[in-house]
Amino acid sequence: MKMLFYACEDPSNFSKYYHLFKHIKLLNDTGNQAKIILECRAVLITSVFDDPSNPLNSLYVDIRQNILGVCKTCATKYNTIEQCKSQELPIKGLLGSHIACESYIRKNYYAMCMFANSEPIKI
């Protein structure tokens, strides 16, 4: 299965990124294709989690090759363009300089999103 996670959360939400990174690693280790697109404040992970003193650093470095794209507009706004370039992350802008998911859906990716302040679904 090909899965594409759109990360939009601020990196201060340590728990959500821990779970995202663990899922990315597990999915790829079990023969799936799991990738990440960084949008909004999520582009800040390129500086926050790249810091060796950050507890998520080793996990971030381990899954970093699965970052499919960093939003050019957001990386510019949050001044992370240079960190993205130094980490050789692809900087993209397809939807008014943001990254559109349509081309990835045509490549059979299932798109999932991480939104700020998302409410849990009660069953």
Q: What is the pLDDT of residues 89-123, one digit of tens each?
A: 999 876 566 666 777 778 887 777 665 554 443 43
* Domain containing residue 60: CATH number: 3.40.1260
Q: Is residue 44 part of a domain?
A: yes
Q: Is residue 4 part of a domain?
A: no
Chain-centroid distance, C-alpha 102: 17
Which helix H or strand E contains 110, and what residues bound it? strand 109-114
Q: Is residue 85 part of a domain?
A: yes
Question: 9-61: per-residue pLDDT in tens?
Answer: 888 888 889 999 999 999 999 999 999 999 889 999 999 999 999 999 999 99
Q: Is residue 5 part of a domain?
A: no
Quote the number of domains for the chain: 1
The range of the structural domain enclosing residue 110 comes to: 10-114
**Whole-angstrom distance, CA of residue 74 vs CA of residue 77:** 5
CB 114 within 8 A of CB 9: yes
Q: Is residue 120 part of a domain?
A: no
